[in-house]
Structure 1
Amino acid sequence: MSVSASRHGGQILVDQLELLGVRRVFSVPGESFLAALDGLHDAKIDNIVCRQEGGAAMMAEAYGKMTGQPGVAFVTRGPGATNASAGVHVAMQDSTPMVLFVGQIRAEDRDREAFQEVDYRAMFGAIAKWVTEVDHTDRLPEYIARAFNVATSGRPGPVVLALPEDMLSAQADVADGRGPIVELAPRLNGVARDTLDWLSHFERPLVVVGGPHWTAEAAQDLSAFAERQGLPVTLGFRRQDYLDNRHPSYAGDLNVGVNPKLAQRMRDADALLVIGSRLGDIETQGYSLIDPKDPNCAIAHVHADPNEHGRVYHPDIAITANAVAFTRALADLPACDTDWSDWTRAARADYDSWKTPYETPGDVKLEQVIAWLSENLPADAILTNGAGNYAAFLHRYFVYKQHGTQLAPTSGSMGYGIPAAISASLHHSDRTVVCLAGDGCFQMTCNELSTAAQHGATPIVVVVNNGRYGTIRMHQEKHYPGRVSGTMLANPDFAALARAYGGHGETVTKTEDFAAAFARAQDSGTLAVIELQVSEDALSTTLTLSGLASS
């Protein structure tokens, strides 16, 4: 353990971040953490200066998804923290490791309702794994080490540390903490063998994979396990890159616009092997496919956090294990004697039929645009999105080929796609990064295009413009037909907006023009926006008729 001379709290904090391997943070500056900004001045840490705290938090969350290490964001007190809460909520529901540092009023002014004072334990208590306030400068190494451990252990998630400005500016002579904790996974061969033996007694099993911790190696192990055992595999909401979608065992994903045949297969299954996923609201279509009170099937649940077992569904077998380690053990097992080939082939056939494009009205057909992207983008291209009916097209028609190519919020947060794409472009500067966004979704965080321009990020943003909040409009038409209220949008010229930020911008009004526009966006070497002007009915009426949107 190293020992340092007297340093102010901001320097102590930054030194701990470097020790823990942090190489990039996302921030919106505030006077409440000036000492931390001073500490970052000479650090070997990139400080990505964002335009709004929600964008900064979402960029940090996306970083956590990509790396498995906590994404780090700095925001100021009061309004800054409330803005950042959107990204904290994403990290919590998506089980993403993240640490948010919030500047705070002076400790000596606490409980006076001082300028921008907020009780952060109360504010973030329900949407973070741990929230606390650091009162003593010499305890910063202790708190930061614990924050990183909590953020990554068990079910990962966000941690919030409030930093009173007088604590940060105060001097302390304190030793640095230690580096990251090295965790050794237990041997799970026997547990995996027993689980497969249990599964072999069922005729119609499904493997459901999702949740955090996934890696490229885990995707390969899952592929080997599924192929050797001949089992159908379905992936959790917005975890579509956990298995190559071309794999013969891949049966589709459990998203808000789930394939009706896959939903029925979930109902018909007599056993579920759930690896990593919480088997949550979206995966079960509002807990209707599997009734928590009376499940129609046996369940073996593998999750890193023992508190998830029995939280909603009472499993027949509960296994506390990291999904990656457990899948590694499954991949080593020989083939069992049970033949599930007919069941698996039928599941795959249902998926192949589902991803065949269903034609929508208008001159720009989004299903064909997504199919073109799927066929022409490099296998390692990263796709990001927020929320809206446009995203259902991406989930249905894009074929993910490898892990680390999907960044999307399982929390369903609008505005996520652009910050995630910027974070991805900075982290993987050699890869193509494409953001899909609706016109409403885009305008929630489009100001972060300025961040992209400043720091050299080059995402290509495809804006699907139908002049409305399409998802809400669709539900209005279903529940209150003919009574449109609060869902229309007056939009800018999105291509011109991109050019105003120093990027490349184009507008596409015909499907056949998209490929050339995309090529020009790639050749521009800068951030780019391609606006797709789609029919008003393309994302609402047709979605309902096709079964693409949730009911």
Structure 2
Amino acid sequence: MPQSRSVGHLIVETLAAHGVPRVYSVPGESFLDVLDGLYDSAIENVVCRQEGGAGFMALAEGRLTGRPGIAMVTRGPGAANFFIAAHCAYQDATPLVCFVGLVPVDDRRRESFQEFSIDSWFGSTAKRVLTVEAADQAGEIVAEAMHIAVSGRPGPVVVGLPEDLLRELSEAPAPAPRAVAAPAPSSADLEGLRRRILAAERPFLLAGGDAFFGGAGRRLADWALEQRIPVAADWRNYDAVPNDHPAYIGWPGYGRRDSIVAALEEADLFIGVGAVRGDVMSEGYTAGLRAETVLVSTDAQLLQHSGRVDQHIASTPANLVEALEGLGDLRGARSADRVEALRASQERFAAVSEHEPVRTGVDLELVFDELERRLGEDRVVTYGAGNATIWGHRQLTHNRPNSLVASRNGAMGMAVPAAVAGALVFPDRRAVAICGDGDFFMNGQEVATLVAQGGRALFVVVDNAKFATIVEHQERWYPGRPSGTGLVNPDFAAWVETFGGRGARLDSNERIAETIAELLEFDGPALLHLVIDPATPSPSGAGY
């Protein structure tokens, strides 16, 4: 039996028993005993500048590793700032556990200082909301939270920590991690899938989710190529399968090209592996809804899926791939022409296009072409939201799993903190954040967190002095009447140098290659400020 210690220390012991290497926190008086437990722990406490940034860092760690990222924030105001990360993790199905300090037990329901209802706030946007109510249950609640976050459809779990209860003593042991189910397809599942694939003339396979680790994505693409099935990646999930694979045909969703929508609409069999037919990839619930549908998912509810479901196979991607490789020849009457044509279309789409030279500001196609050449295979790319990221989606490739973090629900402000987390999780890999000017300053202060941790990352900021995505919507519905979308920006390159970083500002196409090379050599935070013509439209997929 362990010696008596405080609940806060028991929580830290349990996290350590679960192999947690670090937590992302903004300190608060409501969980001081947990902070004290971290003082002597091997767990690193990454001190962040704002709770939204801490939450996005934890989300990024969950996406890059498959284990829950851990955030720690204080009551009302801190929990409110964290909420954006909970919403994103819930819609994106990413494992995350957030510990929220609460008011003392006797102060509840008295509208005490910073009091809020943790169940009411997070009940609709977390997989589970738990509160420690007794000293001896603290370790079990932590273990339960860690288990729930990664089981079935992954997502966020929020754990409430009453301030006074954390100082109580307990002799309860720190629980060991619970086993996580890894379902595999049954023989009946495989027989049904085999018959459907053999009968299909125009199948379409969509890979997605956060469960593609190791060689699962490449093995899936190898199998699909052999069976003459094109493989797309879900939007902002391009690291699910290697982008250099001849079976890979790009992505449906925002910024996509026309031919992939046509392939989706003409498909007679839709196979989602870790992905479902959701809003974004189906063109707002309009494309591909009529196809016979097989979904391979650990989510029994198939949350976010729309349209028909003819077969649901409960399996992880890795276990499915293992089974598929034993099914033999499923090509039927299909030729290789369709896969080859879609692959060729994707290659043209990702290349620098033939276009009139940019006369004002930087040509982003040239910048991202240079980044693609210089970043290397070990890149970890993070994206903010908005049209400025589409150049990166088109031209930056992912040939290793766990190399991309972006909000699939479109939340702004993720790129900077996600790059900080990427630099800490994989210190030997190059973390690169792709941001618009609006997105960057939503959590730009977290550059200070990277400096404090001694990490390195490159921040690419596209500056057109406006919230460009919203402007494009305004022009469609209210032409010539821009409202509430203009921005006044600093010299971002000079700004990052106040943190001891290195910055460079480009407002023409001169010295693109030299500037990128110099920034990538810097061992710390580096920032590439790209000034573009505000009239520059976002890339179009028309004609591809």
TM-score grouping bracket, smaller chain normalisation: over 0.9
User: Match for residue 26 of structure 1?
Assistant: 24
Asked if residue 521 in structure 1 is aligned to residue 519 in structure 2, the reply is: yes
Kindly indicate whether residue 468 of structure 2 is the aligned counterpart of residue 473 of structure 1: no
User: Structure 1 residues 361-370 or 94-103, which shifts more?
Assistant: 361-370
Deviation at 1:327, TM superposition (A): 2.3
Q: CA deviation at 1:217?
A: 1.8
Q: What residue is the counterpart of 1:321 in the other structure? A: 315
Question: What is the deviation of 1:328?
Answer: 2.6
For 1:378 and 1:522, locate their aligned partners in 2 and report how far apart those are by CA, in whole Å: 11
SS in 1 for 2:89: helix
For residues 44-443 of structure 1, what are the structure 2 equivalents within 5 Å? 44-181=42-179, 183=181, 185-186=183-184, 188=186, 191-290=189-288, 295-308=289-302, 312-338=306-332, 339-358=334-353, 359=355, 361=358, 362-443=360-441
The answer as to whether partners of 2:276 and 2:304 remain within 8 angstroms in 1 is: no
Structure 1 contact 259–354 (Cα < 8 Å) conserved = yes
Contact 1:303 1:309 in 2 (8 A): no
CA drift at 1:88: 1.0
- Could you tell me whether the CA contact under 8 Å between 1:381 and 1:434 is conserved in 2? yes
Deviation readout 1:281-300 (Å, 9 max, x if unpaired): 1111111103xxxx321101
Per-residue deviation at 1:182? Answer: 5.1
Residues 446-466 of structure 1: CA distance to partner in whole angstroms, max 9, x if unpaired? 100110100012110011011
Between the aligned partners of 2:72 and 2:172, the Cα distance in structure 1 is 23
Is the CA contact 1:363–1:510 (under 8 Å) kept in the aligned structure 2?
Answer: yes
Q: Give the TM-score, by structure 2 length.
A: 0.96
Cα distance change on mapping 1:189 and 1:513 into 2, 3 Å: farther
- The letter for the 1-side match of 2:84 is A
Q: Is the 8 A contact 2:185 2:314 kept in 1?
A: no
> Letter of the aligned partner of 2:19 in structure 1?
G
Aligned positions of 1:474-513 closer than 5 A: 474-513=472-511
Q: Residue type matched to 2:3 in 1?
A: A
Contact map agreement 2:147 2:180 (CA 8 A) in 1: no
The C-alpha deviation readout for 1:403-439, integer Å capped at 9, x for no partner, is 1221111011111001010000011111111111110
- Measure the CA separation in 2 of the matches of 1:464 and 1:337: 45
How big is the shift at 1:193? 4.8
Aligned mates of 2:214, 2:368 — CA distance in 1: 24
Asked if 2 retains the 8 angstrom alpha-carbon contact of 1:233 and 1:250, the reply is yes
Question: Which residue number in structure 1 is paired with residue 37 of structure 2?
Answer: 39
Report deviation, 1:188. Answer: 4.5
- Once the two structures are TM-superposed, the CA of residue 370 in structure 1 deviates from its matched residue by 1.3
Task: Give the deviation of 1:489 after TM superposition.
Answer: 0.4
More deviation, 175-184/228-237: 175-184
Q: CA deviation at 1:240?
A: 0.6
Give SS of 2:290's match.
Answer: coil
Structure 2 letter corresponding to 1:345: E
On the 8 A contact 1:150/1:156 being kept in 2, the answer is yes
Distance in 2 (alpha carbons) for counterparts of 1:237 and 1:159: 24
Residue identity in the other structure for 2:224:
A
Q: Could you state the TM-score of these two structures normalised by the residue count of structure 1?
A: 0.95
Structure 2 gaps, min length 5? none
The residue identity in structure 1 corresponding to 2:68 is P
Counterpart code for 1:301:
L
Tell me which moved more, 220-229 or 177-186: 177-186
Q: Can you list the C-alpha shifts for 1:218-267, whole angstroms capped at 9, x where unaligned?
A: 11221221222121011101111111112111111122111111111111
Task: State the Cα distance separating 1:91 from its structure 2 match.
Answer: 0.9
Unaligned runs of 5+ in 1: none
Counterpart mapping for 1:438-477 below 5 A = 438-477=436-475
In structure 2, C-alpha distance between the alignment counterparts of 1:477 and 1:100, rounded to whole Å: 40
Q: 1: distance between equivalents of 2:272 and 2:331?
A: 21
**Structure 2 residue identity aligned to 1:202:** A
User: Which stretch shows the higher mean deviation, 353-362 or 326-335?
Assistant: 353-362
**Runs of 4+ with >4 A deviation:** 187-190
Is the 2:230–2:249 contact (alpha carbons within 8 Å) kept by the matching residues of 1?
A: yes
Distance 2:264 2:366 in 1: 29
Q: Secondary structure at the match of 2:460?
A: strand
Greater CA drift, 237-246 or 155-164: 237-246
Three-state SS of the structure 2 residue aligned to 1:264 is helix
1:400 corresponds to which letter in structure 2? H
Letter in 1 for 2:311: I
RMSD of aligned residue pairs (Cα, Å): 1.7
Contact preservation (8 Å) 2:371, 2:516 = no
1:286 and 1:61 map into 2 onto residues whose CA distance is 26
Q: Which amino acid aligns with 2:4?
A: S
Give the match's secondary structure for 2:443: helix
Structure-1 separation of matches of 2:374 and 2:201: 39
8 Å contact 1:155–1:212 — kept in the other structure? no
TM-fit CA distance, 1:27: 0.2
Query: Is the partner of 1:535 in helix, strand or coil?
Result: coil
CA contact (8 A) 2:415 2:435 kept: yes
Q: Does the Cα contact within 8 Å between 1:33 and 1:103 map onto a contact in 2?
A: yes
% identical aligned pairs: 36
For residue 235 of structure 2, give the secondary structure of its aligned residue in structure 1. Answer: coil
State the secondary structure of the residue aligned to 1:308: coil
